[in-house]
Amino acid sequence: MLILNKRIKIGVSYIVTVAIMTAITIALGLLVWGVVGGWAGVSAIYLVEETNKEIAQQRSLLIVEFVDFSRGVVWVSNPGKVDLIILSCIIYPKSSSPPPRTYQRLAKVDASMDRVYPLKIGQECQLIGSSPYVVEINAIASTIYNDRNPMENIQWSIWVRQDV
């Protein structure tokens, strides 16, 4: 009986087993918590950024007040709630398809109707073909403009297309 009792007590004790299991559980739990926390943090940052961009886009508005061909000026103003960066301006024949263009920071238009901004044809604005024309302008909210990511600027820009 004594021999049998000794055989029974051989191996890891119950307490140690519980401790090991608990430790593993806590370690895995912390790992999951960390992973989930990291994912949640990244998602939150992405979510906030996306929301900011969507809101900035909602607040963007640009109008072409007048195109003075004689003096070669496109007059624009910003009735929206956020300052805008003009990325492209092109005047092309109404009947043709939009020509390729470059996107770069051309001018800044403040969000105020107290001022009207000139875009010089031949400098900020390209003129292609013959009349009747249409003017097409790309602009992005200055709060989300990223000069190192042109593609994202185009993605979040607003388009203004108006017959001249």
For other proteins, the binding residues (CB under 8 A) are 14-15, 18, 21-22, 24-26, 28-30, 32-33, 36-37, 40, 43-44, 47-48, 51, 54-55, 58-59, 61, 63, 65-71, 73, 75, 77, 79, 113-114, 116, 118
Tokens for 136, please give them.
Answer: 């097409």
Interatomic CA distance for residues 4 and 10, integer angstroms: 10
Interatomic CA distance for residues 162 and 164, integer angstroms: 6
The candidate with the shortest Cα–Cα distance to 154, out of 162, 144, 164, is 144
Helix or strand holding residue 59 (H, E): none
Whole-number minimum distance, CB 115 to other proteins, in Å? 9
* 3-state secondary structure (DSSP) of residue 148: coil
Smaller CB distance to other proteins: residue 18 or 128?
18
Whole-number minimum distance, CB 10 to other proteins, in Å? 21
Whole-number minimum distance, CB 112 to other proteins, in Å? 9
